[in-house]
């Protein structure tokens, strides 16, 4: 009976910890700031609202709407953005900001990468793996205000069998060959501070036709990872390129498929039915093609990359038609840090409307992270993450590659600041 009480107490403690991770942080009332702009994008309603006013108290949004509907109280500090258009801070659901342990006398790994990402308008990221727990160190430094950067949801490392992709990329720091070992790795990562679990289900980092049937993990291994992660309140992201690995990971209950460049019609239908997110990471392939061209690579290498591009864009276009939910992710550092918004153009080319591409980087990505109560829209109660651009991003998502104002948690980190009081 004593053992039963202990088990019950442990389960309650785990559930409480998971719920605490999902709940927004409660802050004491802070100063009131009014941000004025020519318009703001209501990503949920899918429209541009003219004469925008964003009221921010402390770290959170108090109100957002047109000047006719939102009254600016006396004494509020003003930020006047003139003809700029406001949007929610963007979310990149697949990055790798930091690698390796810190060295004495050297900046913390990921310092420059985090700053570039934030200044590009990405106020939140999901970091899907690092080495030497570099993502945890960077996350803590950002939260302590020691370095500027986006808020981070981190995986710490990637789980996979010995000899597999995750074992190679992440220095074998979370290898697992059996379901029992996989459960243990999940617990170790969560205990270390992981808020999301990454697994390599099949296929390489670079897309290759020959890996269409490649699978690293058997069904039991994937099911153990998903079950243990969900029990501990964490979602699971699965690196998977071909339909065999995608189907096995999705059937196990993962929350997102990363890359998915070889997905076919049948497996995409099942992803849509299971409401599994796809994070395509398309723009990185364009960057690799450009790099190969500039380096004077052999034609055979260029042809291989161009074929990979055709496959990846084609798979994403098919996913869009099948109704698969898309969240934006870039795989930066393969994509240069700070150029994350290029992925929106890639998603539009693959068949999303500018609005849906923007939703992939805001409300849909927030849902994937489990952070809808924190980020993803300019709505009362959410964290005051806002960016501003010139032009209408609902007509030209390229405007999001030219962010001129960034506010994170009520603090202006780029562009014009407080201009006075009302």
Q: What is the mean pLDDT of residues 129-144?
A: 98
pTM of the complete model: 0.92
SS3 73: coil
Q: Confidence class of residue 26 from pLDDT cuts 50, 70 and 90? A: very low
Contact 322, 269 (CB under 8 A): yes
Q: Confidence class of residue 418 from pLDDT cuts 50, 70 and 90? A: low
pLDDT at 417: 74
Residue 213, number of CB atoms within 10 A of its CB? 12
Two tokens, residue 92? 């990149």
pLDDT at residue 265 tops 60: yes
Contact 330, 95 (CB under 8 A): yes
Work out the burial of residue 231: count CB atoms within 10 Å of its CB; fewer than 13 is exposed, 13-18 middle, 19 or more buried: middle
Domains parsed from the chain with CATH numbers: 32-87+379-421 (2.30.40.10), 90-369 (3.20.20.140)
pLDDT at 320: 97
Concatenated DSSP letters of 322-372: HT--B-----BTSSPTT-TTHHHHHHHHTT--HHHHHHHTTHHHHHHHT-T
Contact 406, 89 (CB under 8 A): yes
From residue 275, give the alpha-carbon distance in Å to each of 132, 282, 323: 33, 21, 9
381-412 confidence digits (pLDDT tens):
999 999 999 999 999 999 999 999 999 999 99
Distance CA 208, CA 314 (A): 14
Based on its alpha-carbon atoms, the radius of gyration of the chain, rounded to whole angstroms, reads 22
Return the DSSP state at 2.
H
From residue 331, give the alpha-carbon distance in Å to each of 92, 135, 290, 406: 9, 14, 16, 22
193-206 confidence digits (pLDDT tens):
999 999 999 998 88
């Amino acid at each position: 009976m004593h053992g039963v009480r202990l088990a019950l107490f442990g389960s309650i403690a785990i559930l409480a910890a998971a719920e605490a991770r999902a709940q927004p942080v409660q802050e004491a009332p802070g100063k009131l700031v009014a941000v004025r702009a020519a318009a703001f994008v209501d990503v949920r309603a899918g429209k541009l609202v003219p004469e925008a006013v964003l009221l921010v108290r402390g770290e959170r949004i108090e109100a957002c709407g047109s000047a006719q509907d939102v009254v600016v109280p006396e004494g509020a500090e003003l930020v006047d953005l003139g003809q700029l258009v406001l949007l929610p801070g963007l979310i990149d659901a697949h990055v790798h900001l930091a690698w390796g342990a810190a060295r004495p006398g050297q900046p913390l790994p990921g310092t420059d990468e985090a700053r570039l990402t934030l200044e590009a308008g990405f106020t939140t990221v999901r970091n899907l793996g690092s080495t030497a727990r570099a993502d945890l160190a960077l996350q803590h430094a950002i939260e302590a205000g020691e370095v500027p950067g986006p808020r981070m949801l981190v995986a710490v490392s990637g789980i996979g069998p010995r000899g597999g992709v995750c074992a190679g990329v992440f220095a074998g720091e979370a290898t697992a060959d059996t379901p029992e070992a996989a459960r243990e790795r999940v617990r170790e990562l969560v205990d270390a501070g992981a808020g999301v679990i990454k697994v390599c289900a099949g296929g390489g980092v670079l897309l290759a036709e020959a890996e269409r049937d490649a699978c690293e993990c058997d069904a039991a291994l994937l099911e153990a990872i998903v079950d243990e992660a969900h029990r501990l309140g964490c979602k699971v992201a699965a690196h998977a390129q071909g339909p065999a690995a995608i189907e096995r990971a999705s059937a196990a209950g993962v929350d997102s498929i990363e890359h998915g460049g070889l997905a076919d019609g049948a497996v995409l239908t099942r992803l849509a039915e299971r409401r599994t997110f796809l994070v395509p990471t398309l723009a990185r392939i364009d960057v690799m093609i450009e790099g190969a061209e500039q380096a004077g690579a052999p034609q055979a290498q260029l042809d291989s990359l161009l074929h990979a591009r055709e496959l990846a864009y084609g798979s994403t276009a098919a996913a869009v038609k099948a109704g698969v939910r898309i969240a934006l992710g870039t795989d930066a550092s393969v994509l240069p840090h700070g150029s994350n918004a290029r992925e929106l153009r890639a998603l539009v080319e693959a068949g999303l409307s500018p609005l849906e591409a923007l939703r992939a980087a805001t409300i849909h990505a927030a849902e994937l992270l489990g952070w809808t109560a924190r980020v993803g829209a300019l709505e009362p109660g959410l964290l005051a993450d806002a960016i501003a651009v010139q032009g209408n991003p609902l007509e030209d998502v390229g405007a999001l590659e030219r962010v001129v104002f960034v506010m994170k948690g009520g603090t202006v980190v780029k562009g014009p600041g407080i201009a006075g009081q009302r």
